[in-house]
Amino acid sequence: MNDPNPLERRYRRLLAFYPRGFRRENTEEILAVLLSCAEDGQRRPGLAASADLIRGAVRMRLRMAGQPPRVVRLAIRLMYAGVVAQLAALAVYIVTLGRVRSAVSRRYPGLAAAQHALNVNVTIHYIAVPVGLAAWLFLLRALVRGNHRARFGLAVYFAATCLSVLIAIGQESAQLAPADLIAGGAQWLITLAVTVLLFTAASSRYYRPEPRPVIPWRGTFGTM
Amino acid sequence: MQEATYLILTALAAGSQHGYGIIADVTDISDGRVRLRAGTLYTALDRLKTDRLIAVDREEIADGRLRRYYRLTPDGQQRLAKEAARLHANALAAMRRLQPGLA
């Protein structure tokens, strides 16, 4: 079957990356502009136009509620760095697993016991890392949207990170898995910095539990 | 204020315009140096609406498609005037130093 307007269909696909509320409000208008800018007989969006639409969608999704102060903007940037740090820590863990296994075997002469200890550790890591990353992303999304309760969620997350570092030290990670401990320490530092920044007076004013201005396509700020 | 935002506000300073009109006007104002694309334009328009610097003036249907006109709000006019004065003062300072006898 012949597609009556392949360019419009392809532009609609690109616009699907935008938040739902924004699409509902603006899709037809943006399409009109995109089609007005198109050349005669054009069937596909150009590379630059596609990149521009995707960049706009990403910006729209990452945009913060209201007018955040500098400390909040810095904290949110650090949280993005924290996502990278967590993925890097997972990569370090996977890459150094063999080395850690050898170190544990040397440390514990009884191989069965060493294997058991390591298997437990591996299982904990494979569960804890994705859960931690998911929680971090959830908090990031809530904080970007101006949710004041998310700050307290972050404080709990920081407490859990402290506990995890203490457990790692208790398990002789400094000797058995130094790279993992350094990666964990970097995450802990980022979480500490974000927590401190988000509990300053300026941040508290921004995250006060009052209704924020309503954006037509997004609804009231401050809701998750 | 980013240059694209400044040029969009400038495009709306003379009266309300729709999206395609703003793109064409910005190209004209900047002598073809800045060519806004739809993604950049609507991200900026959304932010400017949120900041109450612009507002929707009216909507029309042209060739079966929605055309929405935007206008500057009093806050937007004030902000643009302030930014223009700042840029003018900077430009003047630079010209004075480059060509002491002329500026």
Q: What is the CATH number of the domain that holds B31?
A: 1.10.10.10
Per the structure, the complete domain to which residue B21 belongs is given by 3-98
Distance from A44 to chain B by nearest Cα, in Å?
15
Judge: A29–B66 Cβ closer than 8 Å, yes or no: yes
Query: Comparing A31-35, A209-213, B5-9, which segment has the lowest mean pLDDT?
Result: A209-213
pLDDT value of residue B81: 96
Closest Cα in chain A, distance from residue B2 (Å): 15
Which of chain B's residues have a Cβ under 8 Å away from the Cβ of A24?
Answer: none
Q: What is the DSSP letter of B63?
A: T
Banded pLDDT at A223 (limits 50, 70, 90) = very low
**pLDDT tens digit string along A147-157?**
888 999 999 99
Is B38–A29 a contact, with Cβ atoms under 8 angstroms apart? no
Residue A221 pLDDT = 46
Do the domain assignments include residue B103? no
The ipTM estimated for the assembled molecules is 0.84
Confidence check: pLDDT of B51 > 70: yes
Residue B62 lies in a domain: yes
Rounded Cα distance between A205 and A193, Å, is 18
> pLDDT tens across A196-205, in order?
999 999 888 8
**Least trusted range by pLDDT, from A59-68, A106-115, B15-24, B92-101:** A106-115
> Which positions in chain B have a beta carbon within 8 angstroms of at least one beta carbon in chain A?
19-20, 23, 37-43, 46-47, 49-51, 62, 65-68
Report if residue B44 sits inside a domain: yes
Quote the pLDDT of residue A224.
40
Rounded to an integer, what distance in angstroms lies between the CA atom of residue A146 and that of residue B91?
38
Specify if B56 maps to a domain.
yes
Nearest-by-Cβ selection for A28 from B37, B51, B66: B66
Query: Half-sphere exposure of B43 toward its Cβ, with a 13 Å CA cutoff?
Result: 23
* Count of domains forming chain B: 1
Is the model's pLDDT at A207 over the cut of 60?
yes
Q: Quick check: A110 pLDDT over 70?
A: no
- On the question of pLDDT at A138 being above 80, the answer is yes
Alpha-carbon torsion (B29, B31, B33, B37), positive or negative = positive
**Mean pLDDT of all residues in A156-178:** 81
What pLDDT does residue B100 have?
72
